[in-house]
Amino acid sequence: MKFTVINHSCLFIETEAGSILVDPWLKGSAYWRSWWHYPPSPEIRPEWLAPDYVYFTHHHFDHLHYPSARSLDPRTKVLIPRFGLETMRKEMSGIGFADVRELDHGDAIELGRGVRIASFQYGFDDTVLVVDDGTDVLFNLNDCKIRSTSLRRIVERFGQPTFAFKSYSFAQCYPITYTSSDPAELQIIDRNVYFDDFVGRMREIRPKYAVPFGSMVAFLHPECRDLNQYLVSPYEVQERARTAGLPGTEVVVMSPGDSWSHDAGFTLTDVDWYSDRESHLEALAQEMAPRLEAQTAAEAGRTVDWEAFRTYFTKFVRALPPGAGRLAVKRPIVFEVPSSDLPYWVVDVPHRHVTRQAVPPPDRADLVRINEGVLADAIEKVLVYFVHISTRVRIEVEPGGASSDLAFWGLLGIWELGYLDRKVLMSRRFWGAAWKRRDEGVGALGALMKRGSFSEKMAGQFAEDDAVTAGGA
């Protein structure tokens, strides 16, 4: 086996049975020009655009990047996880791929010459990819929140891997774009959670090499430039692993373009991207300025239409399961829409209605501020949850409101994926996928029954056992 880290979450794996490209985001930005590659991508090689196989771990734009997917050879064989709904399969056909194969949870398939590949699904939209060539085994966890029994099953099947790749920094905007008069509202998770999660998962997997991966981005949009200070660097992860202790595992920092092969070992760059990150970012922002300005121009003057907003969020609140207002989104979520005469647009989950008014309701959970051009686009594309990932949002949380706010965003993401659709929930496909993951279901139910606020559970997507800890270590 040989592999090259192309960037952020993109890997190019070469095996005796052909090449596998994983999560190609090969150009430009993601999430309304907010996320950019950092460290920057190397020059894209022709073979990366015509791999034998491509695997997409999940739907997020930094993994399934439409412009990049469209630039691949359409004859590429596509491997995707078989989730409980068939959204991704349809997306692949829409992009123009003819050969699409869905991988059932945990069922390894043979690519030939002793090379096996498997997809382990977890949560609503996450997967671990395993590639085993008979000599070396690679686990790509990317930003999958897998742990405990579900993770142990993979190790039982494939043994301790040679490599485990895992994310290590913020991939959503809580708490870095949040403010509150009560500091406790901003402490449900912090950057320690990411260190603990990296080290904790590597302790469960015990790979020979652990690679901090899937978090190689920076924010160049003017609305988010100030957030780069919060990003975790892979060297911090390496240091944290050293002090915490990971016996038998070496943490290797790989930058874009770095590679490993069974014969030659690691080939690593000696460029230091992190000591003076701000000046690198300034240079990058200048280089990308025309694109950022074009984005601003495209968004300028676009306002959110009240009827579109009302229709969208009314569908959402009506799709929520019983108890969503009593147990999860207990207080109104308020969007501030400055172009409106009645600028406070209220999504009231307990009463399942959407209204607008001149002043924000005093019992609100929060006040959400999103550029209207972005919000209008996100509603049109059924992707408002992605704005929370993008970081192009500012949220002022009222005392006691964080739990409702985080539950709102979590449920919105699940609804936008299609999981709250009755037809999906009644389908053989959904129950077939759920049955294959029954271990996870039992663990998630256990986590749901445990004490702790709903927001903590949403933050961990009902993860098993050691669900995200409040305040970190």
- The interface with Fe ion within residues 403-432 (CB under 5 A) comprises none
**Shortest Cβ distance from residue 266 to Fe ion (Å)?**
26
Q: Given its phi and psi angles, is residue 103 left (phi above 0), alpha (psi -120 to 50 degrees) or beta?
A: beta
> What six digits make up the tokens of 443?
């663990």
**Shortest Cβ distance from residue 167 to Fe ion (Å)?**
8
**Shortest Cβ distance from residue 57 to Fe ion (Å)?**
8
d(CA 354, CA 330): 14
Q: Which long-range contacts (CB under 8 A, 24 or more apart) does 433-437 make?
A: 433/82, 433/83, 433/84, 433/104, 433/105, 433/121, 434/84, 436/104, 436/105, 436/106, 437/105, 437/121, 437/122, 437/150
Residue 401: closest CA among 471, 455, 326, 349? 455
> What six digits make up the tokens of 190?
């912090």
**Shortest Cβ distance from residue 392 to Fe ion (Å)?**
17
The region of 7-15, 47-55, 60-68, 199-207 touching Fe ion under the rule CB under 5 A is 60-68
For residue 116, give Cα distances in angstroms to 20, 113, 290: 12, 9, 44
# binding residues, Fe ion (CB under 5 A): 2
Instruction: Give the nearer residue to Fe ion in terms of CB position, either 19 or 121.
Output: 121
> What six digits make up the tokens of 19?
């090449």
Q: Tell me the residue nearest to Fe ion as measured from the CB.
A: 60
The contact pattern for Fe ion, residues 253-282, with x = CB under 5 A and - = no contact, is ------------------------------
> What six digits make up the tokens of 318?
């009506």
For residue 204, give Cα distances in angstroms to 154, 193, 232, 337: 11, 16, 22, 46
**Shortest Cβ distance from residue 140 to Fe ion (Å)?**
13
Instruction: Give the nearer residue to Fe ion in terms of CB position, either 143 or 464.
Output: 143
**Shortest Cβ distance from residue 171 to Fe ion (Å)?**
6
Instruction: Give the nearer residue to Fe ion in terms of CB position, either 176 or 397.
Output: 176
The region of 59-67, 114-122, 409-417, 451-459 touching Fe ion under the rule CB under 5 A is 59-67
Instruction: Give the nearer residue to Fe ion in terms of CB position, either 140 or 340.
Output: 140
The region of 52-60, 279-287, 338-346, 347-355 touching Fe ion under the rule CB under 5 A is 52-60
Half-sphere exposure of 424 (CA within 13 A, CB side): 17
d(CA 346, CA 322): 20
Cα 35 from chain centre: 12
Instruction: Give the nearer residue to Fe ion in terms of CB position, either 60 or 89.
Output: 60
Instruction: Give the nearer residue to Fe ion in terms of CB position, either 143 or 398.
Output: 143
- The bridge status of strand 353-357 relative to strand 344-348 is antiparallel
**Shortest Cβ distance from residue 130 to Fe ion (Å)?**
18
- The interface with Fe ion within residues 115-154 (CB under 5 A) comprises 143
**Shortest Cβ distance from residue 166 to Fe ion (Å)?**
12
Helices (H), 245-369: 277-299, 306-319
The region of 56-64, 242-250, 264-272, 459-467 touching Fe ion under the rule CB under 5 A is 56-64
Cβ neighbours of 301 (radius 10 Å):
9
Instruction: Give the nearer residue to Fe ion in terms of CB position, either 128 or 246.
Output: 128
- The DSSP bridge partners found for residue 30 are 35
Q: Given its phi and psi angles, is residue 391 left (phi above 0), alpha (psi -120 to 50 degrees) or beta?
A: left
By CB under 5 A, tell whether 60 contacts Fe ion.
yes
Instruction: Give the nearer residue to Fe ion in terms of CB position, either 331 or 388.
Output: 388
Instruction: Give the nearer residue to Fe ion in terms of CB position, either 143 or 223.
Output: 143
CA angle 352, 354, 360 (to 5 degrees): 115
The residue written with tokens 């172009």 in the block is 339
The contact pattern for Fe ion, residues 210-249, with x = CB under 5 A and - = no contact, is ----------------------------------------
**Shortest Cβ distance from residue 125 to Fe ion (Å)?**
7
Instruction: Give the nearer residue to Fe ion in terms of CB position, either 143 or 258.
Output: 143
**Shortest Cβ distance from residue 216 to Fe ion (Å)?**
13
d(CA 259, CA 239): 22
Instruction: Give the nearer residue to Fe ion in terms of CB position, either 136 or 143.
Output: 143
d(CA 2, CA 260): 6
**Shortest Cβ distance from residue 417 to Fe ion (Å)?**
12
Residues in contact with Fe ion by CB under 5 A are 60, 143
